[in-house]
Structure 1
Amino acid sequence: MTSGTSSTDNSATNAVSSAITPAHADVGGFPDYTGTKILVVDDEPSIVELLTVSLKYQGFKVAAASSGEEALTVAQRFHPDAFILDIMMPGMDGFRLLSRLREAGHDGPVLFLTAKDAIEDRVHGLTLGADDYVTKPFSLEEVIARLRTILRRSDRSSFGQPSNHLTFADIELDDDTHEVWKAGELVELTPTEFALLRYFMVNAGVVLSKARILDNVWDYDFNGDANVVESYISYLRKKIDTGDVKYLHTLRGVGYVLREPRK
């Protein structure tokens, strides 16, 4: 696929339009992200073009770069709201680029594209501040869905309810007093259980992988393994998932999610 040719643009647009719903449509309760600025960085022209065409069709404003150095220059003038970054690029890789972007003050959510699916690579990216991963080869639907999710999560973080008091169903959490109530009754939690519950409540409805939970709840000086997540979720369920309606759900092979049961 050669960027900039009319026939390629038309074929890409046709393929995208048949598979993707525009950004201004009501998609699963997501806000309207029309006009949101996305910077796509990948050294493969075909991937850059396909993502650029599909995102523009969605209503996003898109800028693209083929290297880390070019991306830093583009970001300074484009001021992206979010980033889609390839990891394995010659010269400056995606990890280093993310660090440089953060140093330059660009704090928008980041979706990594990667051919690597190893847990250590995911953990490294999440530690640097990435929000999610898509493994190559990917579907456009998956990229768009994950992009919308990290944008929505960013919106909640910036404009949601005050962080000192969170509520989900009959669960209440107060940061100031470090107290949790279930159906009006005080629940005793350890500091780690409190941090884990808070992370689930801030990300209610979002499926969270073990790697992401470890990155956000545990310090990476921690030398245990990912099974600690399973153990603490089990502890948490015994304390806050005690009623007939269960809120903490396991998606085998994917992660965990705090949500009300689907009817």
Structure 2
Amino acid sequence: MADQVLIVDDDPAICKLLEKVMRSNDMDSQAVGSGEQALQALETRTFDIILLDVNLGDMEGFEVLRRLRERGIKTPVIIISGRNEDYDSLYGLSLGADDYVTKPFRPVVLGAKVKALLRRSREFSSAASQ
């Protein structure tokens, strides 16, 4: 079964690019355009990884991340943002993000980061269950 990726970005062009990158890495994705849609999607299904923009129309991605961590959702999160200040990446990581990638990004590198994070997440989960 293919890995399931939730893409959260209010820019349709970025969503299409991210979906293409995930498909090229044999992953299935669902794209949503707002923080509220992301939180609703996480109530109804599970994902293996979340790609999250910071600047969303209805709330910041930081707020989405804070809420999902408060709910106990431990799904790995990579923030993908045009905001490239150190304090933004430090804040995102302090809220529980696993990585912070700035736009513009190199699709092949992002695909490799996603695969690496999924691999580490699986290794950690299997070690914790033993």
What TM-score do the two structures reach when normalised by structure 1? 0.46
Q: How does 1:89-128 map to 2 (within 5 A)?
A: 89-128=56-95
Determine the structure 2 residue equivalent to 1:86. Answer: 53
Which of 36, 60, 63 aligns to 1:69? It is 36
Q: How does 1:128-143 map to 2 (within 5 A)?
A: 128-143=95-110
Q: How does 1:120-199 map to 2 (within 5 A)?
A: 120-160=87-127
Distance in 2 between residues matched to 1:78 and 1:157, nearest whole Å: 21
Structure of greater Rg? 1
RMSD of aligned alpha carbons = 1.7
Shift of 1:151: 1.3
Distance in 1 between residues matched to 2:22 and 2:4, nearest whole Å: 10
Distance in 1 between residues matched to 2:23 and 2:118, nearest whole Å: 16
8 Å Cα contact 2:52/2:78 also seen in 1: yes
Query: Which aligned segments of 4 or more residues in structure 1 are displaced greater than 4 angstroms?
Result: none
- Structure 1, unmatched stretches of 5+, are 1-33, 163-263
Distance in 1 between residues matched to 2:9 and 2:3, nearest whole Å: 19
Shift of 1:58: 2.0
Shift of 1:161: 7.9
- Structure 2, unmatched stretches of 5+, are none
Letter of the 2:2 partner, please give it.
G
1:38 aligns with 2:9: no
Determine the structure 1 residue equivalent to 2:21. Answer: 54
Aligned residue for 2:80, secondary structure, equals strand
Aligned residue for 1:160, secondary structure, equals helix
Letter of the 1:91 partner, please give it.
D
Letter of the 2:23 partner, please give it.
K
State the aligned residue count.
129
Greater fraction of residues in helix: 2
8 Å Cα contact 2:51/2:79 also seen in 1: yes
Distance in 1 between residues matched to 2:100 and 2:113, nearest whole Å: 8
